[in-house]
Amino acid sequence: MRALAQPPTVPRRSTGPNAERCRHAQPAEPTEPTAPAEPAVSGDAAGTGATGGTGGTGGTGGTGEVRFDGVSHAYGERPVLHTIDLRLTEHRIGVVGGNGSGKSTLARMINGLVTPDSGRVLVNGLDVAKHGAAVRRQVGFVFTDPDSQIVMPTVAEDVAFSLRRSTLSKAEVQQRVDNALRQFGLAGHADHPTHLLSGGQKQLLALAAMLVRDPQTLVCDEPTTLLDLRNTRMVNALLRELPVQLILVTHQLDLLTDMDRVLVVHEGRIAADGPPEPTLARYHELVLGS
C-alpha cells in the first residue's frame, strides 16, 4: 500500500540518483563536482586480478574503475570489513562468500550507501564519501529487496523517475521507458500500481529502472533471488550481455564461471581474487572445508 500512499509525482526520498531509490541511503553531500575526464589510476593494491581490465565496453564511456584503499568498517562494535584493498577495472566481476561475510557491505560502499570507517572508496577517481551524488550518476545499484528502491506509484512512472534529470525530451523518455518495460516483460504492467507487482516483478522493475539510466557500472546484490526459473534465466542472460561494468554479488555459482574476475569474501577479508576456477575452488574449501 506504501506506493499509493504517495502523491503520484513525489518520490519517497530525494537524496540523489539511486540513493533516493533506497530507504537505507545515507544523505547525499551538498557539493557535486564534475567527474574527471580521466579516471585517476594508481597502484593495484590487491594486484591479483585475473585480467587486469578487459577494456572499455561501457555503454556511456567505457568500463569504470572502482578502488578500495585500506577500507575497514564496523557496525557498532562488530568489525565487518578489514583493510580491503582492491582495484576493479574488469568488465564482469563476481563477488561470492558465506552469509554475513561482508559482501553487501562492500557492494554498498561503491555508491555510498555505506561509508567506510577508515580508508576510501573511489569510483573513477571520485571519493564516494565526498562526491556521492556524482558517483551515483555513474553507478547503478540493484538491491536484493526491490522494495528498497521502488519509489513511484506505477510501474512506468517508476522507470521514468530514473530519467527525470536527463536532458531527453518527453517523447524520448517515453520511448526509453517503453523499451525498458518491454525488455523486462513488464510492458503489460505499465500503469499497474507498483505495490501490486509480485516480488519477482518488482525485482524486474528495479533492474529496468536502474538500467534505463545507462550507468557506467552496475552493482547488483543478489538480483535474482526472488525470480522464477524463466526470469532468472532472462535476467542472467541480460546481465551477461550488458555493455556496462557489472559487479555482481551472488550465491549462484554458475553465474560466476565466466566472469572476468571473482572475489571471495570471507570474514570481512578478500580471501581469494582472480579467475573463476581457482577462486571458486577456494570458496568451496573455505565454506565446506573441501
- Of 104, 148, 217, 224, the one binding Mg ion (CB under 5 A) is 104
Which region, judged by CB under 6 A, interacts with ligand ATP, from 74-82, 133-141, 157-165, 189-197?
A: 74-82
Which of the listed partners (ligand ATP, Mg ion, none) does 101 bind, with a CB threshold of 5 to 8 Å by partner kind? ligand ATP
Contact status: 75 vs ligand ATP (CB under 6 A):
yes
Contacts 24+ apart (CB under 8 A), 26-33: 26/112, 26/113, 26/114, 26/115, 26/132, 28/112, 28/132, 28/133, 28/136, 29/130, 29/131, 29/132, 29/133, 31/130, 31/131, 32/131, 32/133, 32/134, 33/126, 33/131, 33/134
Distance, in Å, from the CA atom of 157 to the CA atom of 141, rounded to the nearest integer, reads 19
Interface with ligand ATP, residue 99, by CB under 6 A: yes
Q: Which entry of Mg ion, ligand ATP, none binds 169, CB below 5 to 8 A by partner kind?
A: none
Nearer to ligand ATP, 235 or 263 (CB): 263
For the record, the C-alpha cell of 226 comes out as: 526472488
Q: Give the shortest CB-55-to-ligand ATP separation in angstroms.
A: 29
102 binds, among ligand ATP, Mg ion, none (CB under 5 to 8 A by kind): ligand ATP
Chain centre to alpha carbon of residue 50: 21
State in angstroms the smallest separation of the CB of 105 from ligand ATP.
3
Residue 266 amino acid letter:
H
Phi-psi region of 62 (alpha: psi -120 to 50; beta: other; left: phi over 0): left
* Contact in structure between 269 and 84 (CB atoms under 8 Å): yes
Nearer of residues 212 and 249 to Mg ion, judged by Cβ: 249
DSSP class of residue 287 equals: H
Q: Which one of 14-22, 101-109, 185-193, 226-234 is the stretch in contact with Mg ion (CB under 5 A)?
A: 101-109
C-beta of 269: minimal distance to ligand ATP in Å?
12
Q: Of 39, 53, 97, 223, which lies in the binding site for ligand ATP, with binding defined by CB under 6 A? A: 97
Minimum distance of Mg ion from residue 39's CB (angstroms)? 27
Contacting residues for 221 by C-beta, under 8 A, at least 6 apart = 103, 104, 107, 108, 141, 142, 143, 144, 249
Q: For residues 265-284, which are near ligand ATP according to CB under 6 A? A: none
- What are the start-end ranges of the H helices in the chain? 103-109, 132-136, 155-161, 170-183, 199-211, 229-241, 276-288
Q: Identify what 99 binds: Mg ion, ligand ATP, none; CB under 5 to 8 Å per kind.
A: ligand ATP
Candidate residues 66, 80, 160, 239; the one interacting with ligand ATP per rule CB under 6 A: 80
Among positions 15, 18, 105, 111, the unique one binding ligand ATP when judged by CB under 6 A: 105
Binding site for ligand ATP (CB under 6 A): 75, 78, 80, 97, 99-105
